[in-house]
Amino acid sequence: MARGEPWIDYCADLKHSPSQMEACSAIVGNVLEFDDAGEPLNEKHAERRAVAWLCQYCTGDLLPGEPALEPWECELH
């Protein structure tokens, strides 16, 4: 956890709402990009976007300085 970011007990918050984990997986899948060899190019960015969504779900606020999530990032396919 980066300095200044809120502590969130994600496991406790998500225990009763597993569909939220599906949303996190969708965000990572939608944001993640791969090179021609199939190696991820932006793994940390995709992870950060999922964490931003999860933080917003659990607290009602995005992480400080985090841009709003775009609709395409959250689409389930």
pLDDT per position as a tens digit, 5-54:
556 666 666 777 778 888 999 999 999 999 999 999 999 999 999 989 98
| Total count of domains within the chain | 1
- Side-chain-facing half-sphere of 67: CA atoms under 13 Å: 4
Residue type, 56: Q
Whether residue 36 lies inside any domain: the answer is yes
Q: Where are the alpha helices (DSSP H) in 1-77?
A: 10-14, 19-31, 43-59, 71-74
Whether residue 35 lies inside any domain: the answer is yes
Whether residue 8 lies inside any domain: the answer is no
- Please state, in angstroms and as integers, the Cα–Cα distance from residue 68 to each residue in 12, 49, 50, 74, following that order: 24, 9, 12, 11
d(CA 74, CA 12): 22
User: Is the full-model pTM beyond 0.75?
Assistant: yes
Whether residue 30 lies inside any domain: the answer is yes
Residue ranges making up the domain that contains 64: 17-74
